[in-house]
Structure 1
Amino acid sequence: MDDAYSVQTTAADAGEADGLERLMALKDGDTFLVADGWGDMKGGADGLFIHDTRVLSRLVLTVGQARPSRLSSGVSQDNVYFTCHSTNRPLPPMGGRSAPAGVLHIERRRFVRDRRMFERVRMANHGVEDVLLPLAIDFAADFADIFQVRGTRREQRGTLAAPAHDGRRVTFAYDGLDEVRRTSCLAFSEPPARLSGSRAEFMFSLPKGKRCDLYVECGSELCDQPDEARFRLNAVAARLAMRTRRRRGASLRGPRSPRFNDWLDQSRADVALLTTDLPTGPYPYAGVPWFSTPFGRDGIITAWQMLWLDPSLAKGVLTYLAMRQATEFSAFQDSAPGKIMHETRGGEMSALGEVPFGLYYGGVDTTCLFVALAGAYARRTGDFDLIRTLWPNLIAAVSWMKDHGDVNGDGLIGYQRGAETGLSNQGWKDSEDSIFHTDGRFPKGPIALLEVQGYAYAAWRAMADLAATLGDERQAEWAGQAERVRALVEDRFWMEDEGFYAIALDGDGAQCRSIGSNAGHLLFTGLPSAERAKRVTKRLLGAEFRSGWGVRTLATGQARFNPMSYHNGSVWPHDTAMAAAGMARYGERRAVALLLGEIYAAAAHFHLRLPELFCGFERNTGEPPIAYPVACLPQAWAAGSVFLMLQSALGIGIDAIAGTVEIDDPVLPAGIDRLNITNLQVGDGRVDLAFQQMGNHTVVIPLRRDGPVSVRTVR
């Protein structure tokens, strides 16, 4: 996302594909933890982070001076627990015979709750003799800022205090250059035989057939003594909190085959994991580990993906972003009055202004998307109380679009970063090499991106629709502005010889004639004519875009095409989902079902958890998709993709104002013969729907209807 602050990790920090060890993540609120498959943290791309600061950078467990032999590990499907099962290697002699390998079972079970890591190390002796078990835990806390962990160099740092320790606890402290003291505490339920500022050594006497437990906690505040009761109490609370988040809104169940349902459950659990309940309401953070914070664009698109099932996310996102709407000009923050934020951060480097992301507005599309989501939310819920509350923010947002977003004065929204510290490209493809001419040259600014004009069109349409309900006399003005944007895009971006839209216009108004997936987002907004939409769809479904695992971000044969790049040929699930939803707007439901099937096949190879992106190599029989080494996993708009694609394939439109659910020519993906939707709220009513494959058609049957809800089918 932030091209100026790219991730610096080794291949071993990446995914499990190609035999590499994948990192595993837990999250609760503004706290997240990343560790390897053993549960160890080694100070690379891992650690325990609180508010963008790593408060525990090392935690490595050894048994008999060796790493245990791992049997299995993973995160529970509800994303609450990490568990690693392992066994011992041969233990050194302890006053007698050495214990052979494979007689001890070591289980590490861990979760995160309330700014704290809780862990239980359970050791069981399955041998025929008693065992003396030497166990050691090496640890450290470097208090590195998240941007340091990602590879940004700092000329100066604050002061790291020497660790202090007593019988069962070690406390760490760091005095930052921002004059904030940051602390953390690591505590054990049993007193170590030896304890220093970096290592705890234990000696457990383990009779045959018996087990014992060691409880470990780490948080930013002084730890109470860990024990079984604290572990159990907080584990129950963590699971209940996650269950509450997962059960918001309507639910989906597929056929009897559990695989598809497992994907739905995993995706819903990933959205729930990344959602933080803020004072303004639930907000889906972008992704772990690098983007576990509110992002404007990511939050809006994730909320839009989930809108038909769970409108509470959209309400939380709109409310939060409205409170952080810019009110002044700042080149460093890339802000102007009315603009909606791109990103916010809480670490030391952001506080000091070493990076601009403490509260950063360098996203050209977020303001338009904010307005468009408000319109979609109003149609979906009929909640005009919220719209009236947000009306001043919406007016300020469209004022920014007109007065400051139109940097060239040509009626199009453009960008050029305000300071060298900001993002050079400010659409969703924000890596520095993602926008270029057909010969590979980078365009001069300001740049007007294709999809951003579509978002602007949707925003003006939304304001006109909202004004009609609220009685605002500017309805006609805003509707006219939407049509002017439509005409400009059709005139200036369309390439008749290519049958496609240019990816952008440069500062001279010349087309950047690269062929990219951005046109799929334009379809999502409904801007193109039906004839041009058909031509764009045909090309997006062709071999130059379709990898067999989804739609590539850039067509093959284009300058800078690279299937291993971040934005120039990779596959992003949310990008494919947006394109599919755009095709569905123009009646291409079978294409949506086809792409949904491809994304499902990719998810099956990623343990049913879609990463932020993966490589865009062509699909070959019997071979899995190729992982992108440092993709966020989980990632919010990747997890939400399946729900947007299902809505599009099923042709579901919800109008709470009219109290209707409209089903337009539904199609189920291949291999899925039925799908049930339960507890779908429409205004003051609720309805359950069953979709069933009948020959060559998919039919919908309302199973339960409570309140004033009507279901209409369209063919």
Structure 2
Amino acid sequence: MAAEAATKIIPASQAIETVAEQAFYIPMTGPAARPRRSLKHDDTFIVLDSHGDIGASAGGPDGLFNHDTRYLARLELVLDDLQPLLLGSNLRDDNSGLTVDLTNPDIYRQGRIVLQKDLLHIVRTIFLWRGTAYQRIGLQNHGEQCASFELTLLFDNDFADLFEVRGERRPRRGTGTSRLLGPSDVLFEYRGLDDAERTTGLHFDPRPTRLSVNAATWQLELDPHEAKSLFVAVSCNRPIAEKPARFFRGLLAHRREMRQSTNGAASIETSNNIFNEVLCQAMADLNMLMTETPQGRYPYAGIPWYSTTFGRDGLITALQMLWVDPRVAKGVLRRLAHFQAKAVDPLADAAPGKILHEMRGGEMAALREVPFSQYYGSVDSTALFVLLAGRYVERTGDEKTLVELWPAIEAGLAWIDGPGDPDQDGFVEYQRATEKGLANQGWKDSFDAIFHADGKLAEGNIALAEVQGYVYAAKQLAARCALRLGKPDVAKRLEAEAKTLAERFEEAFWCEELGTYALALDGKKRRCEVRTSNAGQVLFSGMIREDRARLVAADLMRPHFFSGWGIRTVARGEVRYNPMSYHDGSIWPHDNALIALGLAHYGLKHSVAHVFKGLFDAATYMDLRRLPELFCGFRREQRRGPTLYPVACAPQAWASATPFTLLEAALGIEFDVARCEIRLRNPQLPTFLNEVILRDLRLGESSVDLRVSRHGHDVALEVLRTRGQIQVSIVLAR
């Protein structure tokens, strides 16, 4: 490809049509020509292909993004106008950087080879730090002759909003310009329709031989075995006079910060080396997704589409990681309390007390072309907020934070009993406030996710099964918080409300013919009598009767639900079942993780082990041993891995947290702050784990190192080390 012929960028908004049935649909227009790799630091992330390029191959959401805007749409390396050959590319184990090894193709001039292939070793080292993408291009000549060649970086930008990259079309856009700032610097500028100015600065070191607003070219000569380095820094909204940090200084600082951020979390080592790799990748992904905010660290939901504050995702991720590192929950709770809705705003689907669903910082959100600047269209985030607050306090005994959060907890409970229950029938329901909002507002938010047995979509105010379970657990936990704060009357009222809700739920949602709970009630109080994983999540709340819990669990383990890799979102045989759908038959790791906690609550550890083993086996087939957001629900076949879902986010926070949740469910880990005791309730390890070692498992100011060993169906517990006053015990009863 000639350098001058490849500099034009086609905005994504011109390339992709939206899908009529569903707003904010994420289209898949074709296969990725090269695998993609992602890096993230705070509010900046980058998606590159396996060569380390941006925008050089089809099929990926490439770019450097900051606050939901693309700040670089193309960065492609060519040698004498030819693409180099890939040797390999690897992310560091801690996700701190990407290394790409390339070599030269045969280079011809005037019909004869002037540089034979495989003589140049080219190493691209890329990392993100403080709003800047850094890249070192290391070159070494392994030939016996001098190597003379041109290396060119082609670059361009469109300042596309993330929703444009996803496929939304815009009738108008702002204006952009590009200019040289000197022999080593290029500046892209964009004034949006929101009057905000956004800039991308590119700095090259050493200065290129030739520099234009779309290309930097170095004329290079390398003696035999000589090595040389080129450096590129791409900065988002950095003042023109401020130069980026030197490459190696920034790299060392970035890695030091990443190491420090994991201090204080429990660590896990097992007898299974592959599972250790799964855990290490999961922790590295969670650490990368963590973002420093004014309220504390927050796990952004996923890359590329959800790298921002999501209420539901952050709450569930923090819940999954509570036993490993409760500091995550504290940051999530404080941030969501800060952004709790204070007024009614139909476009944002906001009402006083409601907890945030999603917030965006791009141009389209600022102009309200999409409603997500601060969007509250989530029926479950408020109950999950109260639930997590209660669990956090019981895990840590942090009553100071409870006092800080109590007004937000009370406001959330008021929303649950008020606007969250518009017909005052005792169930929390949703219906979008405007046509611009999300049609479905539970975690299964596809337009076709909530339906009746005949396939007809549910209409009106919809009450989801799992949401009632969240509310039940939230009120029970809030009651215990109220007792801590010396509010016995409030505690008594909340306990009574939770009991009444459980009784009414059994009456309204149980489907005798199905042997499970309905997916939802529609606006006319008709049950959506469909077998779905939502009933499994009700187990997690502990709300349902013991006998029916066992019926639900048994159904989830049957082949129409359990594929061999995990539990499907919709059972095979239901009218809308589709194993390739987003929510109607696919497998979501986090969904399985919450179900596993529910199975453990009812003492069904054999079923926990079954789910654990399926998802572990799936992870062994995944790229980087990384569980994605979801994968297809096809039945497991011998000597074949699971089928991937094409636009699944990876990493995705609650998928990354899943291995830790499955381990929690298997071991039955409980914390009792008052007695300074950690309990393992009915612990059982799956067959692929003979031993698990937990180090620095903290409770208050104390901590402990434990070894749990499997002996058939039994386990043995060994305390390896204690710090402070702490007890550990095994409980072999519910």
Contact 1:165 1:196 (C-alpha < 8 Å) held by counterparts: no
1:355 is matched with: 370
Question: Is the counterpart of residue 32 in structure 1 residue 16 in structure 2?
Answer: no
The 5-angstrom pairing of residues 38-53 of structure 1 reads 38-42=51-55, 45-53=61-69
Contact 2:107 2:113 (C-alpha < 8 Å) held by counterparts: no
1:449 is matched with: 464
Contact 2:600 2:608 (C-alpha < 8 Å) held by counterparts: yes
Q: Quickly say closer, same or farther: Cα 1:3–1:654, change in 2 above 3 A.
A: farther
2:14 is matched with: none
Contact 2:667 2:682 (C-alpha < 8 Å) held by counterparts: yes
Aligned equivalents of 1:629, 1:315: Cα separation in 2? 34
1:520 is matched with: 536
Q: Quickly say closer, same or farther: Cα 1:224–1:187, change in 2 above 3 A.
A: farther
- Which amino acid is 1:457 matched to? Y
Query: How far 1:671 moved relative to its partner?
Result: 2.0
1:501 is matched with: 517
Query: How far 1:690 moved relative to its partner?
Result: 0.6
The TM-score normalised by the length of structure 1 is 0.97
Aligned equivalents of 1:657, 1:63: Cα separation in 2? 66
Query: How far 1:408 moved relative to its partner?
Result: 2.1
Contact 1:447 1:505 (C-alpha < 8 Å) held by counterparts: yes
1:613 is matched with: 630
1:182 is matched with: 198
Contact 1:11 1:629 (C-alpha < 8 Å) held by counterparts: no
Of 680, 687, 709, which aligns to 2:704? Answer: 687
Aligned equivalents of 2:435, 2:198: Cα separation in 1? 30
Query: How far 1:144 moved relative to its partner?
Result: 0.6
The gaps in structure 1 that reach 5 residues or longer are: 14-19
Contact 1:184 1:222 (C-alpha < 8 Å) held by counterparts: no
1:643 is matched with: 660
CA deviation map 1:272-319 (0-9, x unaligned): 000012121110000011000010000000000000010000000000
1:667 is matched with: 684
Contact 1:499 1:535 (C-alpha < 8 Å) held by counterparts: yes
Of 538, 547, 555, which aligns to 1:539? Answer: 555
CA deviation map 1:91-143 (0-9, x unaligned): 12399951111111111110000000000111111112110021111101111
The 5-angstrom pairing of residues 702-713 of structure 1 reads 702-713=719-730
Q: Secondary structure at the match of 2:389?
A: helix
1:308 is matched with: 323
Aligned equivalents of 1:394, 1:591: Cα separation in 2? 34
The 5-angstrom pairing of residues 273-312 of structure 1 reads 273-312=288-327
Of 468, 471, 475, which aligns to 2:483? Answer: 468
Q: Quickly say closer, same or farther: Cα 1:387–1:632, change in 2 above 3 A.
A: same
2:27 is matched with: 8
- Which amino acid is 2:76 matched to? V
Aligned equivalents of 1:470, 1:243: Cα separation in 2? 37
1:394 is matched with: 409
Question: Is the counterpart of residue 123 in structure 1 residue 139 in structure 2?
Answer: yes
Contact 2:66 2:131 (C-alpha < 8 Å) held by counterparts: yes
Contact 1:592 1:649 (C-alpha < 8 Å) held by counterparts: yes
Query: How far 1:369 moved relative to its partner?
Result: 0.3
Query: How far 1:544 moved relative to its partner?
Result: 0.7
Contact 1:24 1:36 (C-alpha < 8 Å) held by counterparts: yes
Aligned equivalents of 1:96, 1:644: Cα separation in 2? 61
CA deviation map 1:173-225 (0-9, x unaligned): 00111111110111110222222111112211011111111101001225789
CA deviation map 1:300-356 (0-9, x unaligned): 000000000100000000000000010100110001000000011101111111111
Q: Secondary structure at the match of 2:136?
A: strand
Aligned equivalents of 1:127, 1:279: Cα separation in 2? 53
Of 324, 332, 337, which aligns to 1:322? Answer: 337
1:151 is matched with: 167
Question: Is the counterpart of residue 370 in structure 1 residue 385 in structure 2?
Answer: yes
Aligned equivalents of 1:222, 1:211: Cα separation in 2? 33
Aligned equivalents of 1:545, 1:119: Cα separation in 2? 47
Query: How far 1:442 moved relative to its partner?
Result: 0.7
- Which amino acid is 2:106 matched to? P
Aligned equivalents of 2:491, 2:656: Cα separation in 1? 36
- Which amino acid is 1:24 matched to? R
Contact 1:286 1:637 (C-alpha < 8 Å) held by counterparts: yes
Q: Secondary structure at the match of 1:62?
A: strand
Aligned equivalents of 1:398, 1:97: Cα separation in 2? 75
Aligned sequence identity (%): 43
Aligned equivalents of 1:162, 1:464: Cα separation in 2? 59
4+ aligned runs moved over 6 Å, structure 1: 223-227
Contact 2:106 2:113 (C-alpha < 8 Å) held by counterparts: no
1:554 is matched with: 570
CA deviation map 1:486-509 (0-9, x unaligned): 111111000111110000000000
The gaps in structure 2 that reach 5 residues or longer are: 1-20
CA deviation map 1:485-537 (0-9, x unaligned): 11111110001111100000000000011111011110001011111110000
390-399 or 677-686: bigger deviation: 677-686
Query: How far 1:590 moved relative to its partner?
Result: 2.1
Aligned residues: CA RMSD: 1.6
